[in-house]
């Protein structure tokens, strides 16, 4: 019997791929926004805000993503946090967990970018009468975003790979599809090779894009 | 919060249970970093080799493995590890889940470490190689006696940072049935119905270890690794530290 014949569950792979992409895009957007806010906290002129930002980054970077996902998935119902109906709960918990985790990494990169902006520009903007927030919006943030695109791309690649952890809390992503196919057909090689190729088809083009952007940035300077 | 659910954490039996999980986590990480370092050395030099039939497979290995989720590797070895090694170790061979986990972690980490080692070697001044070759050392000798000792010293902070990543990643080995810290935590909370307390406790343990390690690595890095090497290593780590 041909391999395709045995794989009557073949449709699981495109479905899983779709969920993985959906999860990656949702969490990437979320972590970009949250990470930028935390980076602003970390360089804020108010000391308590800086502590808050620093505490967030250190906590989420130094604990495993899996523990954070398990906390969101298994523990939130006990605190009475409502993340959704049973069919959407896993996905939302995973998206939230991935967002929180990668926001810490995004924050570190954006903070580096913010600190790299020439101090004279900030002082000039302030002395021209811009408020602190106005200066951030008009002067500091626009320059930062340009410089941090390539490193953020690296975080995006890490995020795509990390979406696989969602399978452990029952989200039907790509790895989960592989698990199901494997358990129904006992063909681990083929099932996981398919999963691996599909992951590579996401991460390798992203890697090439990041390298290209890095080169272009170097030329632009 | 319900107060009685915290009381179990002073019970010595429960603490011993978590302690066992912690020992398993630490032993997994140490085994994985040692094994991955050995594999990484091979592929780092493979990638720097002048012979294309060594260089291209090394590049394919490093870039391919780095682009895969580490959980995929761990799950694969958890299921297929025994069958994979039977041609080598005989038909009765069973790969334990522990070693399946170590293998999955090591394979992934070796690709990352290989890139870090390469960054260390490349960032050394060219004059070092040229001088040692001019003094009559062969390529292999100059690597062994001149380049590698310096490059490895540069990389101590980066290796410590990688160890924190491995410690975090060992939590994934729980999914194939190794009773490390997170898995022990799951066993406990299904008995006591207190996932909040258990996962906070487990997170705190990871935090103490990883925070101490990453702080130490950052302290060491300043004035230890030259700026050029640091930037290159940072870039490698970005993609993988978040794993």
Which chain B residues are within 8 Å of A110, Cβ to Cβ?
A: none
Percent helix, strand and coil across chain B, each to the nearest 5: 85, 0, 15
Per the model's pLDDT, the better-predicted residue between B122 and A95 turns out to be A95
Q: pTM score, two decimals?
A: 0.91
Which residue of chain B has the CA closest to A199? B68
The alpha carbon dihedral of A141, A146, A150, A154 has a sign of positive
Please indicate whether residue A171 or residue B6 has the higher confidence score (pLDDT): A171
| CATH architecture of structural domain A3-220 | Orthogonal Bundle (1.10)
- Check: CB of residue A171 under 8 Å from CB of residue A22: no
B75 touching A, CB under 8 A? Answer: yes
For range A199-210, the mean pLDDT: 93
pLDDT, average across residues A29-45: 94
- Chain A contact set for B63 (CB, 8 A): 204, 207
pLDDT value, residue B241: 64
Q: Is B235 on the interface with A (CB under 8 A)?
A: yes
Is the pLDDT score of A176 beyond 80? yes
| ∠ CA B235-B237-B239, rounded to 5° | 85
| CB B118 within 8 Å of CB B151 | no
Start-to-end C-alpha separation, chain A: 59
Split chain B (243 residues) into runs of 10 and give each run's mean pLDDT: 71 91 95 95 91 94 93 93 86 89 95 90 83 86 86 84 93 93 92 88 95 90 73 74 59
| CB-based contact B206 A62, cutoff 8 Å | yes
* Residue A1 clears pLDDT 50, i.e. is over it: no
Model pLDDT, residue A4 = 55
- What's residue A188's pLDDT? 86
Give the residue-averaged pLDDT of A17-33: 95
Residues of B in contact with A181 (CB under 8 A): none
Set out the domains of chain B in order of their start, with CATH numbers: 10-241 (1.10.3720.10)
Least trusted range by pLDDT, from A8-12, A55-59, A179-183, B68-72:
A8-12
Does the structure show a pLDDT above 70 at A94?
A: yes
The answer to whether B109 and B32 are in contact (CB under 8 A) is yes
Rounded to an integer, what distance in angstroms lies between the CA atom of residue B207 and that of residue B104?
A: 23
B79 inside 8 A of chain A by CB: yes
What local confidence, expressed as pLDDT, does residue B3 receive? 54
Q: What is the pLDDT of residues A144-169, one digit of tens each?
A: 888 888 889 989 999 999 999 999 99
Chain B segment 134-163 residues within 8 A of A by beta carbon are none
Q: A54 falls in which pLDDT band (50, 70, 90)?
A: very high
pLDDT band at A202 (very low <50, low <70, confident <90, very high): very high
Q: What pLDDT, on the 0 to 100 scale, is given for residue B7?
A: 79
According to the model, what pLDDT value does residue A5 have?
54
Tell me the nearest-neighbour CA distance from B141 into chain A, angstroms: 34
Measuring CA to CA, which residue among B75, B73, B93, B97 is closest to residue B84?
B93
**A5 is written with which tokens?**
């014949």
Q: Domain-by-domain residue ranges, chain A? A: 3-220
Residues on chain B touching A161 (C-beta within 8 angstroms): 67-70, 243
């Amino acid at each position: 019997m041909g391999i395709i014949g045995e794989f009557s569950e073949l449709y699981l792979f495109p479905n899983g791929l779709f969920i993985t992409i959906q999860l990656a895009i949702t969490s990437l957007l979320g972590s970009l926004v949250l990470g930028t806010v935390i980076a602003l906290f970390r360089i804020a002129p108010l000391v308590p805000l800086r502590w808050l930002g620093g505490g967030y980054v250190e906590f989420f970077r130094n604990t495993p993503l899996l523990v954070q996902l398990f906390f969101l998935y298994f523990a939130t119902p006990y605190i009475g946090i409502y993340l959704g109906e049973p069919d959407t709960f896993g996905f939302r918990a995973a998206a939230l967990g991935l967002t929180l985790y990668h926001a810490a990494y995004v924050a570190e990169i954006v903070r580096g970018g913010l600190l790299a902006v020439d101090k004279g520009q900030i002082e000039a903007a302030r002395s021209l009468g811009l408020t602190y927030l106005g200066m951030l919006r008009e002067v500091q943030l626009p320059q930062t975003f340009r410089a941090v695109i390539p490193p953020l791309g690296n975080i995006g690649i890490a995020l795509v790979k990390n979406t696989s952890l969602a399978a452990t809390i029952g989200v039907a992503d790509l790895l989960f599809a592989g698990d199901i196919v494997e358990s129904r057909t006992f063909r681990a090689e083929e099932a996981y090779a398919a999963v691996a190729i599909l992951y590579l088809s996401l991460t390798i083009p992203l890697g090439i894009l990041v390298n290209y952007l890095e080169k272009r940035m170097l030329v632009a300077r | 919060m319900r107060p009685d659910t915290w009381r179990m954490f002073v019970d010595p039996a429960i603490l011993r249970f978590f302690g066992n999980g912690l020992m398993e986590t630490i032993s997994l990480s140490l085994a994985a970093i040692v094994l991955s370092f050995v594999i990484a050395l091979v592929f780092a030099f493979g990638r720097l080799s002048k012979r294309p039939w060594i260089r291209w497979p090394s590049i394919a290995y490093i870039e391919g493995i780095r682009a895969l989720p580490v959980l995929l590797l761990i799950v694969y070895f958890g299921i297929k590890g025994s069958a994979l090694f039977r041609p080598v170790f005989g038909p009765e061979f069973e790969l334990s889940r522990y070693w399946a986990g170590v293998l999955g972690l090591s394979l992934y980490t070796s690709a990352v470490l290989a890139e870090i080692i390469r960054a260390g070697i490349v960032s050394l001044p060219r004059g070092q190689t040229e001088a040692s070759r001019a003094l009559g050392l062969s390529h292999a000798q100059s690597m062994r006696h001149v380049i590698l000792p310096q490059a490895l010293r540069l990389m101590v902070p980066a290796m410590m940072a990688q160890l924190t990543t491995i410690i975090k990643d060992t939590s994934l080995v729980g999914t194939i049935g190794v009773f490390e810290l997170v898995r022990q935590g799951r066993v406990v909370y299904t008995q006591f119905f207190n996932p909040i307390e258990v996962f906070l406790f487990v997170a705190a343990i990871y935090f103490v270890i990883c925070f101490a390690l990453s702080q130490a690595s950052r302290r060491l890095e300043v004035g230890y690794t030259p700026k050029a090497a640091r930037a290159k290593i940072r870039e490698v780590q970005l993609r993988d530290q978040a794993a």
